[in-house]
Chain A
Amino acid sequence: MSELPYKIVIGLEVHVQLATQSKLFCRCSTQFGAPPNTQTCPVCSGMPGALPVLNREAYRMAVRAALALNCEIPEFTKWDRKQYYYPDLPKGYQISQFDLPMSQHGHLAISDPKNRFEPKRVGIIRAHLEEDAGKSMHDEQAGTADSRIDLNRCGTPLLEIVSEPEMYSPEEAKAYLTELKLLLTYLEVSDCNMQEGSLRVDANVNLHIPDPDAADGPPIATPIVEVKNMNSFRAVERALHYEADRQWEVWQESHQRLGDVPKQTRGWDENAEITRGQRSKEESSDYRYFPDPDLVPVVMSAKETAEIRNQLGELPAALRKRLEETYGIKPYDSDVLVNQGRALVDYYIELAEQCGDGKLASNWVQQDVLRLLNEREISIDDYAVRPSAFAELLAKVQDGKLDTSRGREVLAEMIEAGLSVADAMEKLGIAEVDDSELVELCQSLIAANPKIVADIQAGNLKAAGALIGQAKKQNPNVNPSRVRELCIELSSEAS
């Protein structure tokens, strides 16, 4: 990749729905997919006179996430009203946190197994709790029908995680999102399902361009653009690439710097693969934040915070390190395994422990187990072969009783027919071949293939491969490496 004439600077705002049973300020269910407006009450539908009451469990869950993001948790926070008019916001304000967020000053470590960037920490400015709005469903042909509002989502707890503008490539941004999602999934604070909207990403992007007039001075910053409407991590990556190119072109034409124009909001158009300017408000929005007088400030003692910290469990970064150190696998492999989630890692660990070879276990889990899970779209909990049975199979491979491809055939039988290793081998007719029988077979092959024998004698040991193929045709149960051994031995004896 050639050196770009600019540096792209990215900050991400991620909204994550917390996996609570009930909403942030009322008892309504947060279940996704219920018929519209069936999970509402006077509080979350903004009825006159209704009052919010904090769901303490949501708060603790948010603290859990914030601690895992290495944030500081102040002992005192409060709630503020963020005021704007929109039909999916029935109170005319959103209860959020303005100047005293529940956590701040954290970081998330990211790295790239493909080494496209150096491992780094991305700073977290703050993570705060707020309530979600409802959903507007607009008629496609504007003006021909009323929009409809579903308030089921209204009041669902959202954690807004704001990063420092410290990511310098779309790949870094994607890695940050991937790691953040993984971390939150491990913590079980969110299902992070982007399709259901439980994880949403907005990106702030601009370029830093070396100042041609002052080579040693600070770079020139171009106007910041907020990019919205990205529905997958892949979309984020593509939108950011597009946006960097676009901003570079705009810069070359306009030479507009940060502050010359109001902040612009653009939406990613997935089909056209471009960002489009969204209708900018004529006056800058003023949310008129002020402390919500209906809620009391939250006090979180250091003891309570410590309790939550002690219950965080092993987080992905630590787990990767442990897998590498304990089972001798490479960072790339630990990354693949850990990124699959805790349940798969647990499976892997059990298998590695039982077969005693972490690398072999890693190879089989990555190549065979994951492939099947992906094909069938099932989770490891539904995988038919338990680690103990799998370890038995790997033992056969380890001591040469099965080669890899025969091993796969056995595994397939174990999965499809629910058989044990022994039964599957028997069904496949795999029996151990007696060594004397094998010697006999090899001798007959040597006799029948003088040309190959001559090759081997001339030092071309690879030629033995053809003999292995013939041996397998005659008896599929033969151990290829033993056949190879014998054939080379017998060839050298032959005259």
Chain B
Amino acid sequence: MSLLKKSAVELVSLLRDGELTSADLTRAYLNQIEEHEGTIQAFLHVDREAALQQAEDLDRRRAAGENMGPLGGLPVAVKDLLCTRGVTTTCASRMLENFRPPYDATVIARLKAAGAVLIGRTNLDEFAMGGSCENSAFQTTRNPWDPERIPGGSSGGAAACVAAAMAPLSVGSDTGGSIRQPAALCGVTGLKPTYGRVSRYGLVAFASSLDQIGPLAATAEDVALLLEVLAGHDPLDSTSIDAPVPRYIETVRQPLEGLRVGLVTDHLAEQLDPDVEAAVREAVRVYESLGANVEEVSLPHSRYGIATYYVIAPSEASSNLARYDGAHYGYRTDESALQAELAAERAAAQSEQEEARLDTPLVRMYRKTRSEGFGAEVKRRIMLGTYALSSGYYDAYYLKALKVRRLIVEDYRAAFQKADVLLGPVTPSPAMPLGHFKDDPLGMYLTDLFTVGANLAGIAGISLPCGQSREGLPIGLHLQAPPLEEERLLRAAHMFQTATDWHRRRPDFVASED
């Protein structure tokens, strides 16, 4: 079997045992990227030399008998919104096209310390806003199962690169489903940890109260391996939880006795693709066959999730993205063109009053910089959020949304009285064709229906492959667990993966390689 088909857990053990060098492994992945990136376009940036350099350094350290860390030379792909010192971090935006952070995000520091080889920076919807990667300012990542379809998003590159065997492990971020939805659409396993489980320090913020970094990989075991590296308290993030990190990798293989699975009936209602529904119902039977008790549960306020999310997330985004104003770093509009424009307007002014109403050069710089630097979806959300926070509207939108958010939290609390994990679909349908939501942003927003709840409530959720549509597209199963119960989620997911092989299925071009 080719190296690229092995799980991360297997590869780490080969590396540790000296049967494989990090350089050879890294080279194999780099070759795979080179071969298929033209089609998939999962990466915004791959520095072959730098990756090999890191791998060789790690190999040297291993040869010298040093501790390699839990990842021991394993390549890891990183979503291009995690600040990495000296490495361009674009957030798939023109605004940050040439931005090189002066510091490492906490997760980047942890990855480096854990012996990861940072193999490349994956594509995303601009500033993580979107569910298809079509909002990237630079390229559209393709679904490895069908290049005419979306990989999902916003961590589309992160999911696609795992599905295409371009990286064994991948780090994404999830604000409303941005890890779980692309994981589902690309047939990989992706986990959104509890809010605060992984430090957000250095994650370029989209919506601060919802953003959470998490791992993507082929299997629950591999996800466990990476989560253990990412998770942990960080004094640099005030919202980070100060709780010990369980040894996920040691417990993931232990089945859960008497597991109570709650089937979220609200998520099996109308507009669900029949293939998705069938796959989810089949997953229920799998759990029953594994000895779990399945009971129906309801999240009655779940249907307000999208409305709530699309007030809170854009509100925070409108504030978080205010800093991209051209004054300090990042894109700035052409200054001589700006001056010429203003001079022409002054000359054309019919009266002093009219001239006085013209922008100052500073205001015009802000306007032009932000108009030119941001894409349409980002601007749409900035406008939504600016409106929702405006004086006179705050109570009706933002404050109301916070109240509904509270109700959603209560829904989950009640549901977890009856169930250890909640089960449902990740997405209403398998991957849509490219351009499907081009003129329908609201339709795009609605695909987050099943995932936003976990972000609003701050709980953990995982997406794992549970079937295929009649067109052969992956379908994702969504499990959710109470705060800090990642271990439970991983064990439940692993149980499922011992009984099924959906997580081993690969797109043809990967499966046919040897």
Contact = CB atoms under 8 A, between A and B. Distances in A.
Nearest to A143: B361
Interface stretch (B98-106, B179-187, B261-269, B408-416): B98-106
Contacts of A85: 322, 325, 366
B391 A49 contact: no
Contacts of B89: 48
A163 B496 CA distance: 65
Given A54-B238, A288-B386, A49 B201 contact: yes
Given A49-B204, A49-B205, A92-B319, A294 B101 contact: no
A175 B438 CA distance: 65
Contacts of B103: 42, 47, 50
Given A83-B319, A294-B208, A51 B328 contact: no
A206 interface: no
B489 interface: no
A46 interface: yes
Nearest to B102: A42
A294 B91 contact: no
A35 interface: no
A334 interface: no
A87 B319 contact: no
A289 B235 CA distance: 26
Interface of A: 42, 45-54, 81, 83, 85, 87, 90-93, 143, 149, 282, 286, 288-290, 293-296
Contacts of B325: 85, 87, 92
Given A90-B323, A91-B323, A282-B357, 15 more contacts: A47-B102, A48-B205, A49-B105, A50-B201, A51-B237, A52-B238, A85-B366, A87-B325, A92-B322, A92-B323, A149-B328, A288-B319, A288-B390, A288-B394, A296-B239
Interface in B313-340: 315-316, 318-319, 321-323, 325, 327-329
Nearest to A48: B204
A396 to B, nearest CB: 63
B508 to A, nearest CB: 38
Q: Of A90, A143, A149, A295, which is in contact with the most chain B CB atoms at under 10 Å from its CB?
A: A90
B398 interface: yes
B203 interface: yes
B238 A294 contact: yes
A46 B205 contact: no
Contacts of A143: 361
Contacts of A293: 207-209, 239, 316
Interface string B73-110: 00000000111000001010000100101110100000
A45 B207 CA distance: 20
B202 interface: yes
Interface centre among B209, B238, B391 (most CB of A within 10 A): B238
B52 interface: no
Contacts of A48: 83, 89, 91, 96, 99, 101, 204-205, 323
B236 interface: yes
Contacts of A52: 238
Interface centre among A149, A286, A290 (most CB of B within 10 A): A290
A290 B205 CA distance: 16
Interface of B: 81-83, 89, 91, 96, 99, 101-103, 105, 200-205, 207-209, 235-239, 315-316, 318-319, 321-323, 325, 327-329, 357, 361-362, 366, 386, 389-391, 394, 398
Contacts of B81: 49
12 contacts: A42-B83, A42-B101, A48-B96, A48-B204, A49-B105, A53-B237, A92-B325, A143-B361, A282-B357, A290-B315, A294-B238, A294-B239
Nearest to A295: B238
A51 B319 contact: no
B368 to A, nearest CB: 13
A53 B322 CA distance: 20
| Nearest 7 A/B pairs, CB to CB | A92-B322, A293-B209, A293-B208, A288-B389, A48-B204, A49-B202, A87-B327
B482 to A, nearest CB: 20
Given A53-B235, A87-B362, A286 B390 contact: yes
Contacts of A282: 357
A286 B391 CA distance: 6
Interface SS of B by simple majority: loop
A91 B102 contact: no
Most chain B beta-carbon contacts within 10 A, residue among A45, A143, A149, A286: A286
Nearest to A91: B323
A68 to B, nearest CB: 28
Nearest to A43: B236
B172 to A, nearest CB: 15
Contact of B389 (A47, A149, A290, A294): A290
A167 to B, nearest CB: 29
B319 A81 contact: yes
Among the interface residues B204, B209, B319, which one has the most CB atoms of the partner chain A within 10 A?
Answer: B319
Nearest to A46: B323
Contacts of B91: 48
Contacts of B201: 49-51
Contacts of B208: 293-294
A7 B81 CA distance: 59
A296 B389 contact: no
Contacts of B315: 290
Which of B82, B323, B325, B362 neighbours the largest number of chain A CB atoms within 10 Å of its CB? B323
Nearest to B234: A51
A53 B398 CA distance: 24
Nearest to B389: A288
A149 B325 CA distance: 14
Contacts of B391: 286, 288
Q: Which of A49, A149, A288 has the most CB of B within 10 A?
A: A49
Nearest to B95: A48
Contacts of B319: 81, 83, 92-93, 288, 290
B105 to A, nearest CB: 6
Contacts of A83: 319, 322, 389
Contacts of A47: 83, 101-103, 329
Contacts of A286: 390-391
Contacts of B207: 293
B328 A49 contact: no
A45 B328 contact: yes
A53 B236 contact: yes
B83 A49 contact: yes
A76 B203 CA distance: 28
Nearest to B394: A290
B236 A51 contact: yes
B354 to A, nearest CB: 13
B43 to A, nearest CB: 20
Nearest to B360: A279
B200 A51 contact: yes
Contacts of B390: 286, 288
A213 B248 CA distance: 81
A51 B45 CA distance: 26
B458 to A, nearest CB: 11
Q: Which of A81, A85, A288, A296 has the most CB of B within 10 A?
A: A288
Contacts of A49: 81-83, 101, 105, 200-205
A99 B236 CA distance: 26
Contacts of B394: 288, 290
B398 A290 contact: yes
Of the candidates A52, A54, A91, A296, the one having the most CB atoms from chain B within 10 angstroms of its own CB is A91
Nearest to B329: A47
A188 B440 CA distance: 60
Contact of A90 (B83, B99, B328): B328
Contacts of B235: 53
